[in-house]
Amino acid sequence: MSGRVLVVEDDEANRGAVRALLEDAGYECCEAIDGEAALVSVRTAHPDLVLLDLELPGMSGAEVHRALRRDPRTRFLPTVFLSAHSGRDERLAELEAGADDYITKPYDADELLARVGAAVRRSSGLRAVNPLSGLPGNTTITEEIESRLARRERFALLYVDIDRFKEFNDHYGFARGDLMISSVAQLLAEVSWGMEGERFLGHIGGDDFVVLAPSKEAETLAACITRRFDETAPSLYDEEDRRRGSLEARDRRGVLRRIPLASISIGIVNVSPGRFDGAIAAARAAAEVKEVAKRQPGSSWAVDRRKS
- What would the pLDDT profile of 142-198 be if each residue is shown by its tens digit? 989 999 999 999 999 999 999 999 999 999 999 999 999 999 999 999 888 766 667
Could you state, in order of their start, the residue ranges of all structural domains in the chain? 4-127, 138-303
Contact present, 271 and 211 (Cβ < 8 Å): no
Under the banding of pLDDT at 50, 70 and 90, the label for residue 83 is confident
Residue 38 in contact with residue 79, Cβ under 8 Å? no
4-127 with 138-303: one CATH topology? no
Q: Is CATH 3.30.565.10 the classification given to domain 138-303?
A: no
Question: Quick one: average pLDDT of 294-304?
Answer: 95
With helix as H, strand as E and coil as C, how does 226-294 read? HHHHHHHHHHHCCHHHHHHCEEEEECCCCCEEEEECCEEEEEEEEECCCCCCCHHHHHHHHHHHHHHHH
Q: What class does CATH assign to 4-127?
A: alpha beta
Distance CA 77, CA 211 (A): 18
pLDDT digits (tens, 9 = 90+) for 32-56: 999 999 999 998 998 989 999 988 8
pLDDT averaged over every residue in the chain: 89
What does each C-alpha distance from 67 to 71, 83, 145, 210 come to in angstroms? 6, 19, 22, 21
Query: Could you report the per-residue pLDDT of 204-263, keeping only the tens digit for each?
Result: 989 999 999 999 999 999 999 999 999 999 999 999 999 999 999 877 788 888 999 999
